[in-house]
């Protein structure tokens, strides 16, 4: 029987690409769980972050951005993940960007309307508004259009108004026993997190030069004498992409590795030895079998 004082529930973070869903998750759980970059569709998997505060445990699920374009198997996978997660949670956070409303925002709104789930509208990046008064008529329109439980303006990057958002969530979570230990912050494996950190550094350093057809496979992850040894294989679609990732004399690959290793050492609280390789695997992003082998089609 559940403790009547204990609350626990799943919260999906949904929205179109690049509205700040992953940044919001990381700041809510006060730990880097989901990778971020300025490039849309950085998140490909549903990433779980856990925040336990006293009697309340919030299990956040960061989803890939929902979008109309489904040009290949990995895009179709991302939309499926976002759709399925939104159907099985207690509360949905629908994240939008300031006064901006696009076709993809409308797509998300239509999907959520059909689900009938408790929805909180999170208006992100309000710190970038020149005049906050501009927000009021926009919020009125969104209230009429979506009828959410609440509308909470925030700046995820600056931790602005996140306490208010957590308060709204706590008021709408069911009374239930906690699913995870109080000190656990994610259900993802260390191998998964290591792969995502490498992919983040690739996207951050080569975002404008490189298309999405790059993924990372961890071939070795072992701890020996207090040092974690990680070997990561970076898969590109074409030789040209491989050359861009490696850079002149291996300079870009070295820079990606150094940056990823520093974040890994913070995340795993251990010294890390990281080795990176780049290999061409043509068509991986549009091949269901390849995606399954790389952990996409759960």
Greatest mean pLDDT among 56-70, 79-93, 235-249, 259-273:
259-273
Q: How many helices (H) and strands (E) are present in the chain, helices listed first?
A: 9, 9
> What CATH homologous superfamily does 190-293 map to?
K homology (KH) domain (3.30.300.20)
- Compute the Cα dihedral for 194, 196, 198, 204 and give only its sign: negative
Kindly write down the DSSP assignment for every residue of 24-48, as one continuous string.
Answer: HHHHHHTS--S---SSTT---SPEE
Instruction: Please state, as a whole number, how many other Cβ atoms lie within 10 Å of the Cβ of residue 218.
Output: 19
> Which is nearest to 33 in space by CA: 9, 10, 50, 57?
50
pLDDT above 70 coverage of the chain, percent? 80
Residue 293 pLDDT > 50:
yes
At 297, is the pLDDT very low, low, confident or very high (cuts 50, 70, 90)? very low
Q: At a CB cut-off of 8 Å and minimum separation 6, what does 103 contact?
A: 68
CB crowding 21-38: b at 16 or more within 10 Å, else e: bbbbbbbbbebbbbbbbe
Residue 83 pLDDT > 80:
no
C-alpha span between 19 and 34 (Å, rounded): 14
Of 11-15, 81-85, 117-121, the poorest mean pLDDT is in: 81-85
At 169, is the pLDDT very low, low, confident or very high (cuts 50, 70, 90)? very high
* The pLDDT of residue 74: 47
At 170, is the pLDDT very low, low, confident or very high (cuts 50, 70, 90)? very high
Q: Domain residue spans in the chain?
A: 7-170, 190-293
Do the two domains 7-170 and 190-293 of this chain adopt the same fold? no
At 77, is the pLDDT very low, low, confident or very high (cuts 50, 70, 90)? very low
Residue 295 pLDDT > 60:
no
Q: pLDDT (tens digit, 9 = 90+) per residue, 105-154?
A: 888 888 888 777 899 999 999 999 988 888 999 999 889 888 999 999 99
Mean pLDDT score across all residues of the chain: 84
> What CATH homologous superfamily does 7-170 map to?
P-loop containing nucleotide triphosphate hydrolases (3.40.50.300)
C-alpha span between 70 and 170 (Å, rounded): 35
pTM of the model: 0.77
pLDDT above 90 coverage of the chain, percent? 54
Cβ distance 112 to 118 under 8 Å? no
Q: At a CB cut-off of 8 Å and minimum separation 6, what does 296 contact?
A: 44, 45, 74, 77
Query: Looking at per-residue confidence, does 69 or 182 come out higher?
Result: 182
Question: Average pLDDT in the 181-193 region?
Answer: 91
Q: What is the separation of C-alpha 207 from the centre of its chain, rounded to a whole number of angstroms?
A: 17
> Which is nearest to 18 in space by CA: 165, 212, 193, 175?
212
Question: Average pLDDT in the 1-15 region?
Answer: 81
C-alpha span between 120 and 9 (Å, rounded): 14
């Amino acid at each position: 029987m559940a403790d009547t004082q204990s609350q626990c529930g799943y919260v999906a973070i949904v929205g179109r690409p690049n509205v700040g869903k992953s940044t919001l998750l990381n700041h809510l759980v006060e730990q880097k769980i989901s990778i971020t970059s300025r490039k849309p569709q950085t998140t490909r998997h549903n990433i779980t972050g856990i925040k336990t505060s006293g009697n309340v445990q919030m299990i956040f699920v960061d989803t890939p951005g929902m979008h109309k374009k489904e040009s290949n198997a990995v895009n179709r996978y991302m939309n499926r993940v976002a759709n399925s997660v939104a159907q099985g949670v207690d509360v949905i956070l629908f994240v939008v960007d300031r006064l901006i409303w696009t076709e993809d925002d409308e797509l998300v709104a239509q999907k959520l309307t059909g689900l009938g789930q408790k929805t909180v509208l999170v208006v992100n990046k309000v710190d970038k508004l020149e005049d906050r008064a501009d927000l009021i008529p926009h919020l009125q329109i969104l209230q009429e259009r979506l009828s959410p439980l609440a509308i909470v303006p925030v700046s995820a990057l600056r931790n602005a108004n996140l306490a208010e958002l957590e308060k709204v969530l706590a008021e709408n979570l069911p009374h239930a026993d906690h699913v995870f230990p109080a000190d656990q912050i994610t259900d993802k494996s260390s191998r998964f997190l290591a792969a995502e950190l490498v992919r983040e550094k690739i996207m951050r350093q080569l975002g404008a030069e490189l298309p999405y057809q790059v993924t990372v496979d961890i071939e070795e992850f072992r701890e020996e004498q207090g040092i974690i040894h990680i070997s990561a294989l970076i898969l590109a679609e074409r030789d040209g992409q491989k050359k861009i990732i490696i850079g002149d004399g291996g300079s870009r690959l070295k820079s990606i590795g150094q940056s990823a290793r520093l974040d890994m050492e913070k995340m795993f609280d251990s010294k890390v030895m990281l080795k990176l390789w780049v290999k061409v695997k043509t068509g991986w992003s549009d091949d269901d079998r390849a995606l399954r082998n790389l952990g996409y089609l759960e």
